[in-house]
Amino acid sequence: MATNSQEGAKTPKKRRWYHNIADAYRVTARTFSWIGWVLGGSAIVILALFIMLGVWRGGLIWWILIGILSAVTVAMVILAFTLRPAMYRQLDGTVGSVYSVISQIKRGWVVDEQPIEVNKQQDVVWRLVGRPGVVLISEGPTSRVMPMLQAERRRVNRAVTNVPVVFIQCGNGDGQTKLSKIPGALRKLKKVLTRQEVPAVAARLNAVTTKGAPIPKGVDPTKARASRRALRGK
């Protein structure tokens, strides 16, 4: 009996859709402290408008119900538009922040879960394989990450031939791409490989590549995924 009770105590509670919405709100509120006022204010204004319509046209109860549904919908839209910028701001400058972004855009891409290279200064190089070829994304100052990127390109060229290697330096310095712009930068790349060639290239690279050290602690990519599920209501 004691064993059964202990097992029951260890069983995690099932997450409901409202838990995910609460997570999304908490993530957003850490960056935008005003989000609660905006959500509450928009709900009050919308509900007041529908109450006025109900008083004017009759059927007040139905108009109130429609107003509540409309207020909730608008609140979810506002939360959806503010969640991602808030998430990027919190991750910006954190070691491993790039993975939190690229791990959510796996469609059409093969994304390595561990960095290809990490140096003593905790500069990081990530690798993706997609139809544009092999994309190397760095975190750190240009002066330190460029030798890492060039060394990795030489390794890629030895492993696979005639496959483009693209550099993207993530950061806020000159010539670097901001974290929030990484998905857009990947979408703009010219497609060279076929869909069938992408997994073949990725498999070849994985077979001959020794991965870098595990990512240092300090960033929680799963938090971003949980927030994304919240907006889908799952």
Model pLDDT for residues 155-169, shown as the tens digit of each residue: 999 999 889 999 999
Instruction: Report the domain count for the chain.
Output: 2
Residues 103 and 204 in one domain: yes
pLDDT band at 102 (very low <50, low <70, confident <90, very high): confident
Is 49 within a domain? yes
Residues 26 and 60 in one domain: yes
- Judge contact between 224 and 91, C-beta under 8 A: yes
Question: Average pLDDT of the chain?
Answer: 83
Is 221 within a domain? no
Residues 73 and 103 in one domain: no
User: What is the pTM assigned to this prediction?
Assistant: 0.69
Residues 102 and 160 in one domain: yes
Q: Taking 70 as the threshold, does the pLDDT of residue 148 lie above it?
A: yes
Is 227 within a domain? no
Domain boundary among 53, 68, 91: 91
Residues 77 and 154 in one domain: no
Is 167 within a domain? yes
Share of the chain above pLDDT 90, in %: 45
Q: Render pLDDT for 193-229 as a digit per residue (tens, 0 to 9).
A: 999 999 999 999 988 876 555 555 444 444 444 344 4
Is 8 within a domain? yes
Residues 109 and 56 in one domain: no
Residues 107 and 80 in one domain: no
Output the DSSP codes for the chain: -HHHHHHHHHSPPPPPHHHHHHHHHHHHHHH-TTHHHHHHHHHHHHHHHHHHHHHHHS-HHHHHHHHHHHHHHHHHHHHHHHHHHHHHHHHTTSTTHHHHHHTT--TTEEE-SS-SEE-TT--EEEEEEETTEEEEEEES-HHHHHHHHHHHHHHHHHHSSS--EEEEEESSSTT-B-GGGHHHHHHHSPP-S-TTHHHHHHHHHHHH----PPPPSS--HHHHHHHHHHHHT-
Owning domain of residue 72: 2-91
Residues 81 and 153 in one domain: no
Q: How far is CA 232 from CA 28, 76, 80, in A?
A: 16, 10, 10
Q: Taking 80 as the threshold, does the pLDDT of residue 230 lie above it?
A: no
Residues 112 and 204 in one domain: yes
